[in-house]
Structure 1
């Protein structure tokens, strides 16, 4: 059964919802769907109260260290953390209270080529059971290609059964944002969900485009319940109108 996993997206120290394709190093800032007055720790405490398991804190760029640490302190071992993770800081994030570290960009060189030695190094440092690989991707001619550097740079890794089989040796879970539909509330990438659901391996969480609970049901049905989901900009606690927070709490309680 597909569970709904909570999220805390941090940008410049604040909890925000951002359109996925608008995070760039230069030019105008990202398009913001929502900026919260509540702290990251407030959201973490709420998720803890309602037993929303397996969620993540994502740092979108610099300036989020303190807010991320506060969220982890509010629910020790209850949230994963991503954004700027490397072998140099992974242990410190786990010691700060993260259940897992989420890693993408550090595993690739500037040209987007996977550095398998880094993946092995991280696995030796913290153990595969504490690693989540972020395989967030964009639609390409070859299917879906993993994107790094805040989804600006395409890598040499496509989402295939072979890729999922190979990388699963080094991680406990996968996190997959469909970057092209992230933050748009215009519907999920159903084809990608089917591809993910056709693979049987480590747990996977999909994010991107959820507009209503019908999309959540579609993910559960399309993946045969193998793929979990994160709801962002459509959620009322993030200023959305399509999904109520109470609905996701009720959904998970029925499936625990």
Structure 2
């Protein structure tokens, strides 16, 4: 609804460019790449943007060896604002092109400065209460590029504990805990825990991910072919980081199963934004 009634008409009034370009005609060097799908809705999206910007790296993961990659002045590339949503569907399809590795998504991730350094310093995952973003092929492609580039992965803790609910508040969908959520890692059952994990919500492997456009789906599947197992493992690692950060009383059970050295290696390059500081 925001895209239809705000982004599209205002972009059209600005001459048909994207929302981002209309506000920054000279452009900005992207330093954070956001990956998300539209299932979260604008209110959930807004809450998670606030958490990401204002939250700190969780002390319950691995902060002593992982520097916070988030730039002090964020220039966030987000598809629904960076792409010209007011263009006709066919024109947008032509913009995405016949090679996903040359699409605006890929360019935003892969562009380098004059010194040969990537402009994007991290990939920010925005999960949602409705479905795993990795049921969407474009998100799978973005993770594949990030994995190949070795970019840090940052995401907000998807837990009911991230917000202090006031008396009388209606619980938001993404803050509702899943009773006894099963966790897996490389096929190993890590047990069941009372956590709200959104990255594995309905997720059964990237080979089952879909795309609204069948032509795009075929092109993306060709790009990620052969990397499905690596991507599934990385998604499970990210989910593990989320669970590990949320656990308080049951953390020792995972540590006994895996060992702290293995856990430290699993958390490498994956950072959780803990947002208990927000109202």
TM-score, normalization by structure 1? 0.32
Q: Which has the higher helix share?
A: 2
- Report which of the two structures shows the higher radius of gyration computed on alpha carbons: 2
The one of the two structures with greater contact order (alpha-carbon pairs below 8 A, sep at least 6) is 2
Q: Which has the higher strand share?
A: 1
TM-score, normalization by structure 2? 0.30
